[in-house]
Amino acid sequence: MKMTIGRTAMIGACAIASLSIAGNLYAHGNVTPQAVDTSALPDIEGGNDNWIEHNPYSGNPKAIEIGESAYGQNCARCHGLQAISGGIAPDLRYLELGDSGDEWFIERYHHGSSHDGKVYMPPMGDVLGQKAGWAIRAWLETQHTED
Ligand code: HEC
């Protein structure tokens, strides 16, 4: 019983901590990306710098595993744990599946988003690499929801 209460309290504390960190990052666009080891995944045709528009790892179990952890380290602080947004950034479970979703995903991942001189999302592509991006997308597909 004690254990359960402790755990719940800790999860709550973490959620609050990550929310305030996200608030900070949101304001300054200041993020230190965590490198992702994608050596177990097949190389992108034409090389990592040849940005393609469709996910080559869709349904690949290894990619999904790598993507889940890469998401947790690099995206969850803004987009929410398990891709469930707390409202700071869009809920990525609703991203369209298939080709048009892929294109939009990789565009944002690669270049980030800024308007009116403010960074809303820092560019991730050149720091984490294309393979990590598609691995995250492969995991996000498994979290997709319509409602
Ligand atoms: C510093 C906070 C922050 C981090 C970290 C971050 N994002 Fe974002 N992201 C945002 C915000 C804010 C938007 C909305 C931008 C806008 O509306 O212009 C966004 C938008 C997106 C979109 C478009 C969503 C839509 O519905 O249009 C995708 C895809 C995305 N992010 C993927 C990622 C991935 C993948 C990562 C991790 C590699 C990541 N983001 C890390 C803040 C962040």
The alpha carbon of 5 and the centre of ligand 1 are apart by a number of angstroms equal to: 33
Q: Can you give the pLDDT at residue 125?
A: 95
Three-class DSSP category at 106:
helix
Q: Is the CB of 113 under 6 A from ligand 1?
A: yes
Q: Can you give the pLDDT at residue 90?
A: 97
Cα–Cα distance, 103 to 51 (Å, whole number)? 10
Q: Is the CB of 93 under 6 A from ligand 1?
A: no
Q: Is the CB of 41 under 6 A from ligand 1?
A: no
Cα–Cα distance, 28 to 35 (Å, whole number)? 21
Report the CATH number that the domain containing residue 107 is assigned in CATH: 1.10.760.10
Q: Can you give the pLDDT at residue 32?
A: 78
Q: Can you give the pLDDT at residue 9?
A: 54
Q: Can you give the pLDDT at residue 16?
A: 47
Give bridge partners of residue 121 from the DSSP assignment: 113
Cβ atoms of 56 and 49 within 8 Å: the answer is no
Task: State the total domains in the chain.
Answer: 1
The alpha carbon of 10 and the centre of ligand 1 are apart by a number of angstroms equal to: 26
Alpha helices, DSSP H, located in the chain: 2-28, 61-74, 76-79, 98-111, 125-128, 130-143
Residue 131 structural domain: 2-143
The alpha carbon of 1 and the centre of ligand 1 are apart by a number of angstroms equal to: 38
Q: Can you give the pLDDT at residue 138?
A: 98
Nearest by Cα to 18 from 83, 77, 93: 77
Ranges of residues in the chain whose predicted pLDDT is under 50: 1-2, 12, 14-29
Residue nearest to atom 23 of ligand 1 (CA): 108
pTM of the model: 0.84
Cα–Cα distance, 113 to 38 (Å, whole number)? 24
Q: What is the best residue among 24, 36, 121, 130 to mutate for testing ligand 1's pocket, by most ligand atoms within 8 Å of CB?
A: 121
Cα–Cα distance, 144 to 147 (Å, whole number)? 9
The alpha carbon of 43 and the centre of ligand 1 are apart by a number of angstroms equal to: 25
Q: Can you give the pLDDT at residue 31?
A: 58
